[in-house]
Amino acid sequence: MLGKDAELVRQLASGLDRTDRLMVALRYTEELEVAEIASLIDLEPSEVEFRLDSVRVKVARAHAARVVSEGARRSA
């Protein structure tokens, strides 16, 4: 199962632009606060939060689609 999750993360990351990938890494790997990220990449904190929210929505949708797909395969 972990392999499938890792592959999903790789696929999602490849679909993000460079700045979004950097923000995700800084937030979730380095555990920086939004204000710190904004300062580092010269964006307003509200823009960083908006972009991180957008990434979270993409991840949630991709995960939901994978769960539905796996459920359909099991039912067939």
Structural domain boundaries of the chain? 17-75
Please write the tens of the pLDDT for every residue from 12-39. Answer: 778 889 999 999 889 988 999 999 999 9
Check residues 47 and 67 and name the one with the higher pLDDT: 47
Beta-carbon contacts of residue 68 (< 8 Å; ≥ 6 apart): none
Q: Is the pTM of this model over 0.85?
A: no
Token couple for 50: 């908006």
Of how many residues is the chain composed? 76
Proportion of the chain above pLDDT 90, given as a percent? 41
Residue carrying the six token digits 């769960």 = 67
Residue-by-residue DSSP string for 15-62: TS-HHHHHHHIIIIIS---HHHHHHHHT--HHHHHHHHHHHHHHHHHH
- In this prediction, residue 53 carries a pLDDT of 94
* Res 10 pLDDT > 80: no
Check residues 46 and 66 and name the one with the higher pLDDT: 46
CA distance linking residue 68 with residue 72, whole number of Å? 6
Which of the following CATH numbers is that of domain 17-75: 3.40.50, 1.10.3470, 1.10.10, 1.10.8? 1.10.10
